Amino acid sequence: MKALILLADGFEDVQFFATWYRLQEDGWRTTLATPSGSAATGLHGYVVEPDSPLGELNPSEYDLLVLPGGGAPGRLRLRETAVGIARMFMEEGRRVAAICHGPQLLISAGTLDGRVVTCAPSIRDDVRFAGANYRDEGVVVDGNLITARGNADIPQFCAAIIGRSLVKM
C-alpha cells in the first residue's frame, strides 16, 4: 500500500509525524510531497525534506492521500496541482484522510458537498458552507473519507486509516 502525504510550511508537526510513523509501522510506503519540492517547516519548527514536488507525482499510483492540518492546507489550496490531486482522490473514491484544517484543501477541490465530516472547530462553518454535514466528533468516516478534529484524536484517526476498530465505522 502506498500513501501520499501533502505538506507545506506551517503543517501541524504532531499530526504529520504521528500519522507518518503509524503508516510506516503498518507497512505503508509513504511519499512526502511539497509544492516546489523544497523542505517544509512545521508550526513547531520541525523541518521535513520531501520525496517529491507535487508536479512530478503520479497520484494514481497511491492508495491513500493524507492531509495534516495546521497552516499547510491553507497554503496548499492555493496550488492548483494540490487541489487537482485532492479532487482526483475524492472523485475516484480513493481513501482520503484529513485532520484539523486538512479539509480546507477538499473545500477548494469542491468535493465536500453532501459528505459527513469533522474538522478543527475554527473551520466548521467553512465545511458547512461547502455543503458538508459537520459533526462535532473526534473522527468521522464517510465512505472513502476519514476526517478528524485535532491532536487529541490522532490515535483514533490513525486506527481508522489502517482499518483497526478503535473507532466506530
For the annotated catalytic residues, the residue numbers are: 101
Locate 36 and state its grid cell.
Answer: 516546489
C-alpha cell at 131: 455543503
Phi (first) and psi of residue 62, to 5 degrees:
-110, 150
The Cα–Cα gap between 93 and 47 comes to 32
Number of Cβ within 10 Å of residue 136's Cβ equals 10
According to DSSP, the residues that pair with 90 across neighbouring strands are none
- Amino acid residing at 85: I
- The answer to whether the beta carbons of residues 3 and 29 sit under 8 Å apart is yes
